[in-house]
Copies of this chain bind each other. A is one copy, B any other.
C-alpha cells in the first residue's frame, strides 16, 4: 500500500513516525510512505539555510529528535551558538551544534545547485530514514504572517515573538511561481493520503498553495483522510486555536472539518469530540472517532494503524 502524508512540524513528524512503524512492520521494510513537508517556515540565519519542518520530520523518523521539547536533536550542545553570539550575531533562534551540521551540509549543497529535494534525500539517507521525505517545492515559498504589528516573517512570528501576535492573515510569498518538487503530485495518487494533525494554516495551507497540489488532492482517487489538530477546543501544540479564532473559524474539530471538507473523504476526530461526529458527518464527510493524542511511538503506531485501516 502506498501512503502519502502531508505534514508540517511536530504533529506531522509524529504521525510520519507512526506510519513508518506500522507500514514497516506489515510490509517488511518497503513502506511506500511519502511525507510531503511544508517549507514555508524555512529561514536563512547566519547565512545557513534552515528547514525546520523537514528537519523535525527527518530527526523524528531517525529517532534522534528531542521528544520533550518537540524540536531539535536529543542531547544537543550549544557551543557554536554561544560563539556566534560572542561574534555579535543575533542568536534568537536556537541552533544546536549537531543540528548546525545539517544546516551546513544543506547550505553547501544548495549553493552547489542541488535542489532542496535532492539535499533532503541525501540527509534522509545519511540518517537511515526509510520513508521518502519530500519538500513540497524546490522553489522559494515563504510564509508571511499579517498581524496588528504588521507583516512578519514566519520565524520572527513563531520563534522570535513566540506566536503571541494575533494572526490577521497569511501570505505565502513565492507560492504562485513555485512548482511542486519532483514526486509530489505523483505521491498524491497514493492509496491513502493523510493530512497530518498539523496547523491547517501554517503547515497545510502552504502545501496547498503550491500550484497543482490542491487540484491533485481534490482529484485524488485514493482515500483522503484528515486528522484534526484541535481536540476539546484546544490545539495539541502551537497556535492553531488562536489562529482559527482570529481568522473567524470555529475553534473545534468541526471548524477544521469545514476547512478540509472539499479536500478529504474522512475526518478523524478525537473521542473527546465525539459529540461533533454528527455535525462533521453533515458536511458530507465520513467520521472516525478515536484517540488522536499520539504521545510516544506506541501511540503513533496505534493511530497510524487506524488510518491505514481506512484505506
Name 12 interchain pairs, CB-CB below 8 A, sorted by A: A46-B104, A47-B109, A76-B79, A77-B97, A82-B98, A83-B97, A83-B98, A86-B126, A87-B102, A87-B123, A88-B126, A100-B100
1/0 contact trace for A79-108 toward B, CB 8 Å?
111111011110000001111111011011
Interface residues of A in 180-223 (CB under 8 A from B): none
Give A contacts to B, CB under 8 Å.
46-48, 76-77, 79-84, 86-89, 96-102, 104-105, 107-109, 111-112, 122-123, 126-127
Distance from A105 Cβ to chain B, minimum over Cβ atoms (Å): 5
- Is the CB–CB distance between A126 and B87 below 8 Å? yes
Residue in B79, B88, B96 whose CB lies within 8 Å of A98: B79
Chain B minimum-CB-distance residue to A108: B47
- Is the CB–CB distance between B100 and A80 below 8 Å? yes
Residue in B77, B81, B101, B109 whose CB lies within 8 Å of A84: B101
- Is the CB–CB distance between B97 and A79 below 8 Å? yes
Distance from A110 Cβ to chain B, minimum over Cβ atoms (Å): 9
Majority SS at the chain A contact face:
helix
Once the chains are docked, how many angstroms separate the CA of A221 from the CA of B82? 45
Chain B minimum-CB-distance residue to A76: B79
- Is the CB–CB distance between A105 and B80 below 8 Å? no
Closest 8 CB pairs of A and B: A47-B108, A83-B101, A79-B97, A83-B98, A84-B101, A87-B126, A80-B97, A88-B126
Residue in B97, B107, B108 whose CB lies within 8 Å of A97: B97
Once the chains are docked, how many angstroms separate the CA of A234 from the CA of B243? 72
Given A46-B108, A88-B122, A100-B100, output 15 extra A-B contacts at Cβ < 8 Å.
A46-B105, A77-B79, A77-B97, A79-B79, A79-B98, A80-B97, A81-B101, A83-B99, A84-B104, A84-B105, A86-B101, A86-B127, A87-B101, A87-B102, A88-B126
Distance from A78 Cβ to chain B, minimum over Cβ atoms (Å): 9
A76: chain B residues at CB < 8 Å are: 79
Once the chains are docked, how many angstroms separate the CA of A87 from the CA of B122? 8
A96: chain B residues at CB < 8 Å are: 79
Residue in B82, B89, B100 whose CB lies within 8 Å of A105: B89
A89: chain B residues at CB < 8 Å are: 101, 105
Interface centre among A88, A100, A104 (most CB of B within 10 A): A104
Distance from A40 Cβ to chain B, minimum over Cβ atoms (Å): 23
Distance from A77 Cβ to chain B, minimum over Cβ atoms (Å): 5
Distance from A190 Cβ to chain B, minimum over Cβ atoms (Å): 29
Chain B minimum-CB-distance residue to A107: B47
